A and B are shown apart, each in its own frame.
Chain A
Amino acid sequence: MGGHDAGSQHQFTGFAKYFNAYTMVGRRNCVLATYASLAAIGLFFKLKPKKQAAVTEK
C-alpha cells in the first residue's frame, strides 16, 4: 500500500518532531503513547486500594 509519508516535506521541531500525525515515526510514537496511557490508566484502577466502608456504632 503506497502513500506513506517519508516526512521529507515536514520539518517539525521539539515535541512535534517525535509525536505528529504526518511522519511514520511520529504516527508510531502516537500509537505507542496512546497504548501506554491506556495501560497506565488500567493499571491505576487495578492497583488502586479499595476504600473500606466505615463501621457505624448502633
Chain B
Amino acid sequence: MTLSFFDQFSSPMFLGIPLMALAIMLPWIMFPTPSSRWINNRMLTLQNWFINLFTKQLLLPLNTAGHKWALIFASLMIFLISLNMLGLLPYTFTPTTQLSLNMGLAVPLWLATVIIGMRNQPTHSLGHLLPEGTPVPLIPVLIIIETISLFIRPIALGVRLTANLTAGHLLIQLIATAAFVLMPLMPTIALLTTVLLFLLTLLEVAVAMIQAYVFVLLLSLYLQENV
C-alpha cells in the first residue's frame, strides 16, 4: 500500500465502519461535567473561567437580542478549538480538515443570521447592502458587489478553516518527512529542519486556536449586523 501525504485527511474507517461520528464526539468526553457545587475542582474552575471570559468578550458588541446566541457561540468555540488542538497530536484525524464539516457549520449559522435580520428588521438588513454616502453612479454596482460578498461569506468561513488546518497539517508532515529522510544523509541540515518543525508546530498550535476564534468571531459580527 503506497502512502501519500493526503492519507491523514481521509475519513477514518475501521474494518469498513466509519469512525467520523466518534472523531467528532471525542472532545465531548474529554471535558469535565459541570457540577452544581459552589466551589469546583481545578479543571472545572479553569474550564468555567475560560468559557465565561470568552463569552463575555464575544458578546460585548452584541445587544440583548444577540445574547440568545451565547450558548451556541461558546459551544462552537469549545468544539472547534478542541478538535483543532487534538488534531495536532501525531497520527490523529482532524475533523475540521473536512470541508463538509466546516461548511455544515458555516452555512446554517450564516443563513440563520441573514434570516433573523430579514425577518426582524428587513429595512436595516437590506439597507446594509448599500454603504452610506455612495456616489449615485456607483449605487447599482456597489449593491451587486455587496450582494456577492454577502453570499461569499459562508464559503469563506468554511474554506478558511479547512485551508488553514489542512495546509498546516500538510506542512508539518512534509517537514517531518524531510527531517527524517535527511537524518542519515545530512545530520546538520536534519537538525535545522527539526528546529523548523518545532517552530512550525508552535505556529500550528496558535493557528488552531486563532482559526477557531476567527470562525466564531465572524459569525458574531454577522449576527451583530442583523440583530
Interface residues, chain A, with chain B CB atoms under 8 Å away: 1, 3-5, 21-22, 24-25, 27-28, 30-32, 34-35, 37-38
Are A1 and B133 in touch, CB under 8 angstroms? no
Distance between Cα atoms of A21 and B146 in the complex (Å):
14
Which one of A22, A28, A38 lies within 8 Å of B126 (CB-CB)?
A28
With A4-B127, A24-B123, A24-B127 already in contact, the answer to whether A30 and B139 are too (CB < 8 A) is: yes
Report the contact-size class of chain B (Cβ under 8 Å from the partner): 20 to 34
B140 within 8 A of A: yes
Are A1 and B136 in touch, CB under 8 angstroms? no
Q: How many A-B contacts at CB < 8 Å in the complex?
A: 51
Query: Which residue on A lies nearest to B121, using beta carbons?
Result: A24
Distance between Cα atoms of A36 and B132 in the complex (Å):
21
Interface residues, chain B, with chain A CB atoms under 8 Å away: 61, 122-124, 126-136, 139-140, 143-144, 221, 224-225
Distance between Cα atoms of A22 and B131 in the complex (Å):
9
Distance between Cα atoms of A31 and B134 in the complex (Å):
12
Which one of A1, A3, A30 lies within 8 Å of B143 (CB-CB)?
A30
Distance between Cα atoms of A27 and B134 in the complex (Å):
10
Which one of A31, A34, A35, A38 lies within 8 Å of B127 (CB-CB)?
A31
